Chains A and B, each alone.
Chain A
Amino acid sequence: MSEASARGVAQAGNDALLEIDRLCVSARIEGRDWQALDNVSLTVRRGEARGLVGESGSGKSITLRAAMGLLPQTLSVSSGGVRFKGSDLLTDGGKSLAAIRGTGISMVFQEPAVALNPVLRVGRQIVDSVAWRRGWGRKQAREFAVELMTQVGIRDPQRWVDAYPHQLSGGMRQRVMIAAAIACEPEMIFCDEPTTALDVTVQAQILKLFKKLQDDLHAGFLYVTHDLSVVAEFCSTLSVMYAGRIVEQADDLKAMIAAPVHPYTRALLASVPRIKGPTKRLKGLSSSAPPLTERSQEPGPSLAEVGPGWQAAPASKEEIELFSAGGEA
């Protein structure tokens, strides 16, 4: 990125839609507090899609849930802030959050079972919040649900609009969640593994739909996934998490994928299975990160600039060893 364009980004600061600022979240386990998120900071601008990738258990879902104000009881924000269009989401006493939810911000959850009500027909779950706000009747709401189901590629939506979640396949349930998330034309969408249960052709269709929201409504996305090829296709900026911290992030995703700085980012990219070229036994990490109760409770080192709009955490000797040893997992 040239200096001029880096300045351009800095000037666009007031364009920030979502700002997560040194967010710390702690988990209460057996009467003690343990750090689940350690000073997570990231920004999503209007029309930007930021990928959030990283180790399983590193805190991606917790980051999204904290920003949405949807943390489970055992977890709480211990410090830091979340701003949406400049106003603080966490200190406004939850009130503004309730107002924002469903209008400005929406979320596609990692597991449909968490998000969908098993005893409500799916059509109703898709449009409920919108229909209520717009004062729609049953018929109008149902028509809108069918239209959204068509948009997310569900075949024969008339048949399924009155079905219950357990009557749908995994990928159909996932698309019901996506339909519910986009029903209110949100400005900011949190996506937690939104396409893992979709075949690649439907996935392509959903990504196209997301791109349309990006173009037409300038919607911002914070997009969590393990599928780095999807990230490379849909997102333009990228943050990488490991053990509750962001270890590397860049405003230029392509540059970072081409030359990752942090040893964890490198290890991650090295274990991506490929669709072309020779197949070989994949390299995994020799161990996965420890549970919260076995992690260091000290705050990690702060990120250092490694280029314009590109930061990485300095890696300790142990980390360098752990991640580069890799080999047989």
Chain B
Amino acid sequence: MSGSELVAEKISVTFATRRHDPGHRALTDVSLRVGKGEIVGLVGESGSGKSTLGRVIVGLQESYTGSVRFDGETLAHRRTIAQRRAIQMVFQDPYASLDPQMTVWQMLEELLVVHRIGGTREARRERCGELMRLVHMPAGLLDVRPAGMSGGQRQRVAIARALAVDPRLVVADEATSALDVSVQAGIINLFADLRDKIGLSILFISHNLAVVRSLCDRVAVICQGEIVEVAATQAIFDAPQHDYTRQLLAAAPDLP
């Protein structure tokens, strides 16, 4: 499967936390493009609306204004099953996003069955083994439930689940934050390979600027619900234009 172009235009989202509350504006007129076979980094303040934008794009946040186009087609707020398959998300908090009752195998198999992928049970089992290998997980953990895994293992399960259905766009929300640096390196290389070989598009949300720098083609910087700067990765790191971008770069720790 190959990647596709995503265009989000003037997306706004407002949440009301209390009754009679004018509401909290999480996103204000955010526009962003992720090209076919492109990895775009989304970095910025905590609470600035990154996960909310991700949820709008994958169709989980149904109340928003603005439009989401994918391959030239405007997506309805409620998605078809094919659209849901094409755009997958790796959630920020794996523990909350995985079903505690199911083993990894049961979770992945259910997904493959829903999307009619894999043919026989044996073929599906083989595919799941291959997925585990891709995300650097020992195959032995296929039959384990989330509670029996470490944080980083759960996160890799979440990545495997997103990749299981051959998506064309992946929204990766802090998808490598729980991985040690050597496994993280493996996942970064995997994402880069999927982009280069099959043209997968990725919106890569992360607080880790060094990872963003080594993986992304372009970077968007978001602050308080608005995108303040978008540029090629090298330009962002070498010549940041916006004050907030400069602040971020100045605060990033690095090894001595």
- Please give the residue numbers on chain A whose beta carbons come within 8 Å of chain B beta carbons, in ascending order: 27, 29, 53-58, 60-61, 72, 74, 110-114, 154-155, 159-160, 162-163, 167-173, 175, 192-193, 196-204, 226-230, 232-233, 254, 257, 267-269, 271-276, 279, 281-285, 287-291, 293-294, 326, 328-329
Contacts and interface: CB of A to CB of B under 8 A. Distances in A.
Contact of B46 (A199, A271, A282): A199
Contacts of A227: 208, 253
Contacts of A111: 93-96, 151
Given A56-B153, A294-B140, A233 B46 contact: no
A251 B47 CA distance: 37
Given A227-B208, A276-B254, A284-B182, 17 more contacts: A55-B183, A57-B150, A58-B150, A74-B147, A113-B95, A162-B17, A170-B174, A199-B43, A201-B45, A201-B251, A271-B181, A272-B181, A273-B211, A274-B255, A275-B213, A288-B136, A291-B144
A175 to B, nearest CB: 8
Contacts of A202: 45-46
Contacts, number: 206
B214 interface: yes
B182 A329 contact: yes
B122 interface: no
Q: Which 7 A-B pairs rank lowest in CB-CB distance, beginning with the nearest? A: A171-B46, A56-B152, A329-B186, A284-B185, A282-B185, A113-B96, A284-B186
Nearest to B133: A287
10 contacts: A111-B95, A111-B96, A169-B50, A173-B93, A273-B185, A273-B188, A274-B210, A275-B209, A284-B183, A290-B138
B31 interface: no
Contacts of B147: 72, 74
Interface in B150-183: 150-153, 156, 173-174, 177-183
B197 interface: no
Contact of B181 (A114, A268, A293): A268
B101 interface: no
Contact of B254 (A56, A274, A281, A294): A274
A17 B90 CA distance: 39
Interface of B: 15, 17-18, 24, 43-47, 50-51, 92-96, 136-138, 140-141, 144, 147-153, 156, 173-174, 177-186, 188-189, 192, 207-211, 213-214, 237, 247-249, 251-256
Contacts of B151: 56, 61, 110-111, 192-193
A193 B178 CA distance: 8
B140 A114 contact: no
Contact of A329 (B185, B208, B211, B253): B185
A58 B180 CA distance: 10
Contacts of A254: 256
B46 A226 contact: no
Contact of B248 (A72, A200, A230): A200
A273 B138 contact: no
B216 to A, nearest CB: 11
A204 B251 contact: yes
A273 B214 CA distance: 7
A294 B139 CA distance: 11
Contact of B213 (A271, A272, A273): A273
A163 B17 contact: yes
A325 to B, nearest CB: 12
A267 B182 contact: yes
Contacts of A288: 136-138, 182-183
B153 A57 contact: yes
B248 A226 contact: no
B256 A257 contact: yes
A288 B252 CA distance: 28
B160 to A, nearest CB: 14
Contact of A113 (B93, B144, B150): B93
A151 B78 CA distance: 40
A60 B150 CA distance: 9
